[in-house]
Amino acid sequence: MKTSHMLDKVVLITGGAGGLGRAVCHRLASSGAHVVVGDVNQAAAEETAKAVNGMGLLCDLQSSVSVDQCVDRTMERYSQIDALINCGAIHLQKRIVDITDEEFESIIKVNLTGSFFACRAVARVMCQLNRGGRIINIVTALFPNALSAPYMASKYGLWGFTGSLAMELAKYQITVNAVAPGVVRGTGMEKWFIEKARLSGLSQEEFDKAVEQSIPLGRTSTPDDVADVIDFLLSDAARYITCELIHVTGGWKGYPQRLG
């Protein structure tokens, strides 16, 4: 349902050209927001932005310079940033004994340090404007997950960062929350499922069945399931919610032990 509670609000979405980020862009645009799509793939960012009548910018989360430039360009066009959604992330399905230093460091750099870069740049703007704001970090369902050590480290770290930031920015009426999706189709996770099934010694059909049976609501989620929760957190109905972690998992509590 199209609403207008975000009318004339400016929202920056990092990783906005990815599966989840793209769904968030479309959902917030339908709520009336001016959407800024930041992504390491500039062409994809511009394509997504065109679809939502927004602005597509290069935003490489591995570079504080790139992130700062993305925020600067947003301010040059709109003179305000009302919300930041950090969707950008990379993943790896691999046994701990096989993970290289470079692989671990790159995941931490994008998922955790990159979110820090974005939060820092946007917080500077929000504090200076002194008109409040919303920050939402996308973490992950915080349950044990084998074969994903670097990713889980980055996302648990991002949740800790979120809580600290919420306490620090509360006096500026800036709310900071985390959203934790579970098993989401249509976001690129499918390639992780393929590798996870292989490392678990299961066929893809066996793996998919075991995962769905582990979700009380009986299905994996869609990007729209997550985007709708993000949209709610940006609404006036969520004005008194901060320092919270909201799981969007269908009741899922982690993969069965045999999967990994």
Which residues are part of the catalytic machinery?
Answer: 151
How many Cβ atoms from other residues are within 10 Å of residue 153's Cβ? 15
**Coil, strand or helix: which one is 248?**
strand
The whole-angstrom separation of Cα 181 and Cα 187 is: 11
For residues 179 and 229, the answer to whether their CB atoms sit within 8 Å is yes
For residues 22 and 87, the answer to whether their CB atoms sit within 8 Å is no
Residue linked to tokens 């299905």: 219
Closest CA to 194 of 210, 208, 181: 208
**Coil, strand or helix: which one is 134?**
strand
Helices (H), 85-240: 101-108, 114-129, 149-169, 189-200, 204-213, 223-233
Instruction: Record the tokens describing residue 231, joined without a space.
Output: 């949209």
